[in-house]
Chain A
């Protein structure tokens, strides 16, 4: 008797879950997905960090009648490689989020097609044009810099480091943590900073010195900042961390007026994020309109709060805390995108062999 009852119960559960699957309770059953490829839709392919404040994309739809479908296949490196592999049948119409370390690869592979925006901010964007191509338009930028925990250095009565060289000095032994250059994009940016600073011949020696001085390599930014860094959420043991020039404002304590951390502006590498119309896009006109929208004042002003980068447009105003506590470096280290595209794999392998072993 009990057996029959349980059988009926399981049959009922299976029937119910099948019914649920076929109806609106499940992902397959519901069909509120905007259809792709239609004239009324433009598909934005972007990385995991993309986001805009509530309602901003809706205002684009109101102005243009185009619905934006956002597709996010992974981090910035994964994004470009997926676009390269799918270039015969692109995943969408516009890509946003290719940075200057991957820009040349995207252009060389023909993933993006040329488009020159005519909105006012496009003039500001032009300073970051890559390799004489007009296929990628800069949308925002930001600096990856060494950050220090002011509170820790005050408490230990130690002068804060200023330059990259300082990090190899004995007084800063066992104090620095950086994310892995192979597995994290700020990690790669910092490797590029050292190549910009010490040249292709000198950067490995610098990393050897860092390693000898007790450098800790964490897997990613989250891990380094939230676990190892003394000024992050986890209250870790190390007061020197690789992060962004925009990080300090986030450490203004509740009720306080000044951040407890600061960025060392002589240690920075400039990251620039680009957008481009995908070659073979189903809706290239829509893609161009969306790119113009990304350069509009509304989006540019929203970028700091929603994506933690600096707007490329000189007309956009920075949030007050950023203006006080998060200036961009005046003279960041640079490596031409074409050099990065040619040498990235070799540099990373040498870095890996030197630092990781």
Chain B
């Protein structure tokens, strides 16, 4: 009879097979997303950019000199940075109060408002462009502002599109922040504003930096918005890449500009990453029910004067104005969709059941296509993005491993900052018999959801990560000490605390996929157009019927998005306290 003495260890003993499974899990968690990104992003972009630098089998970098000696190039770089910075700064300034009102307060219609501000995010830019310009044009309802064709018009449209990005990313963390730290500061005599500035704001900083970097990338790669509202005099790196590639087929110039874009984007990601990691630390997270207050105009009975009620009112006022401004073009859209050559009516909506004479599908079929594709894209994005967020949320002890984790984080943000034209054309060049496989992925229906997932992954990561990172590591340690297996720790700590963020992320990814009209529009999509593609085709045709159908289809897209986002919000609150 032998007795084995357990050696004293500080960690809970894991059976060898268990440890192997853990190692295998983390290896997969890193390898699967990396393989996905390498095949469906890095490789196509490399092929496309490479084509611009390799001439007759030789590396030719003379394009850099040609492009950089043009004054126009520098103006374009400056305009890109200026537009994106302005768009980001204003989105953050307006979005933080918005997050406060929509995620820290309870009031009737909150769910509808949260969904409403997300609508612009998915509307096709050509539709928003028309809706915006018809307000701003001379003689239009806002024509007296003389904003048509100005930088201010572009920036306000950028804010219109990206307000929801800030509200959702910041709100997701804010509603879970334990209010007791702020309450303690208040009890010690800090004014509400000072408590916000010194306690809450630093806690929110990682989420704000996260949202700001997303917004910057969206603004820097905005394409249709810039062209429709400002025209080429406000051209950005993105519009220039589009022109050089699709109009001039000057792949050399396009490749140089793609590299410039990559440098700008990488620079922004580094700065944002620094801002995040300086501030990032474990936070006390609580059930939203604890943190949420009822929003009312009158000071609640029993609340002493100077207890932040004024702050709530100011935030509510600002948010009210923003929501009105966001609603104006949307209302304009709905009103115009109800105008028919015979006066007011639902004719444009009835026509959605037809092909409008010559579309390849009816608008309803296109809507169904969009939903099916979005379902695939969301599933892929959730798996890949979830794994990335999980890996990146860990803080390994070795410095090299920590750097690798940070690098991984930045890497998965790149798809948002690289031109859709480069990605789209890259797919065409690389997906015929990829890796010698006898398949032509270029015209495969698989490619569309994959291309959309590449763009949706960073949204999932940015929504889930702030919450995962805020989890106190001691929670995991406690759970492990109490004998939970590593997988059980993942399930009971990481997954359960980030559930609500995952719900947000699903809605976000779904919305992004529904509205995606970047890379997909360059894919040789087989006969299965999505709703944004059909809208684009309709609005380019003459006649009030086509135009009316395009507007009605846009309203359908907006309603569809609102319903799905609202459902996801509901889904994530099921059973977790019920703050509804």
Contact = CB atoms under 8 A, between A and B. Distances in A.
B501 to A, nearest CB: 11
A348 B247 contact: yes
A36 interface: yes
Interface string A78-118: 10011011100101100000000000010000000000000
Contacts of B522: 73-74, 78, 82
A265 B541 CA distance: 21
Given A10-B502, A36-B440, A52-B358, A81 B245 contact: yes
B247 A182 contact: yes
B139 A352 contact: no
A227 interface: yes
Contact of A27 (B126, B373, B425): B373
A227 B133 contact: yes
Contacts of A170: none
A92 B414 CA distance: 32
Interface string B131-166: 001100111000000000000000000000000000
Contacts of B503: 10
A49 B533 CA distance: 11
A163 B323 CA distance: 48
A6 B360 contact: no
Contacts of B574: 5-6, 9
B485 interface: no
A26 interface: yes
B571 interface: yes
A349 B536 CA distance: 27
B448 A27 contact: yes
A77 B247 contact: yes
Interface in A2-17: 2-3, 5-7, 9-10, 13-14, 17
Contacts of B233: 356-357
Chain B interface main SS type: helix
A28 B246 contact: no
Contacts of A2: 575-578
Contacts of B336: 233
A234 B302 CA distance: 54
A253 B543 CA distance: 11
Interface in B345-381: 355, 357-360, 369, 372-373, 375-376, 378-379
A201 interface: no
Interface residues on A, range: 35 or more
Interface stretch (A130-138, A148-156, A204-212, A242-250): A242-250
Interface string A329-352: 000000000000000010010001
A307 B502 CA distance: 45
Interface stretch (B110-118, B262-270, B459-467, B523-531): B523-531
Given A70-B360, A222-B126, A253-B341, A237 B540 contact: no
A26 B376 contact: yes
B382 A14 contact: yes
A21 B453 CA distance: 14
- Max count, chain B CB within 10 A of own CB: residue among A6, A54, A69: A6
Contacts of B129: 219, 223
Contacts of A122: none
A253 B129 CA distance: 26
B526 A33 contact: yes
Given A7-B495, A51-B359, A227-B137, A28 B376 contact: yes
A240 to B, nearest CB: 15
Contact of A228 (B137, B355, B499, B533): B137
Interface string B503-545: 1000000000000000001111111110001001101111110
B449 interface: yes
Nearest to A349: B248
B523 A25 contact: no
Contacts of B250: 345
Interface in B19-44: none
B542 A246 contact: yes
B425 A247 contact: no
Contact of B358 (A27, A91, A307, A352): A307
A53 interface: yes
B378 A17 contact: yes
B542 A247 contact: yes
B428 interface: yes
A347 to B, nearest CB: 11
Given A18-B379, A49-B540, A91-B524, A237 B372 contact: no
A314 interface: no
B428 A53 contact: no
A51 B357 CA distance: 8
Contacts of A246: 542
Closest CB pairs A-B (n = 10)? A51-B358, A306-B358, A5-B575, A6-B575, A250-B543, A27-B372, A254-B341, A89-B432, A73-B524, A78-B246
23 contacts: A2-B578, A3-B575, A9-B571, A14-B382, A17-B378, A26-B372, A45-B524, A49-B537, A51-B355, A54-B355, A69-B526, A69-B527, A70-B527, A73-B522, A77-B247, A86-B442, A222-B130, A226-B547, A233-B544, A345-B250, A348-B248, A352-B232, A356-B233
Interface of B: 51, 126, 129-130, 133-134, 137-139, 227-228, 231-233, 243, 245-250, 336, 341-342, 355, 357-360, 369, 372-373, 375-376, 378-379, 382, 425, 428-429, 432-433, 440, 442-443, 445-446, 448-449, 491, 495-496, 499, 502-503, 521-529, 533, 536-537, 539-544, 547-548, 571, 574-578
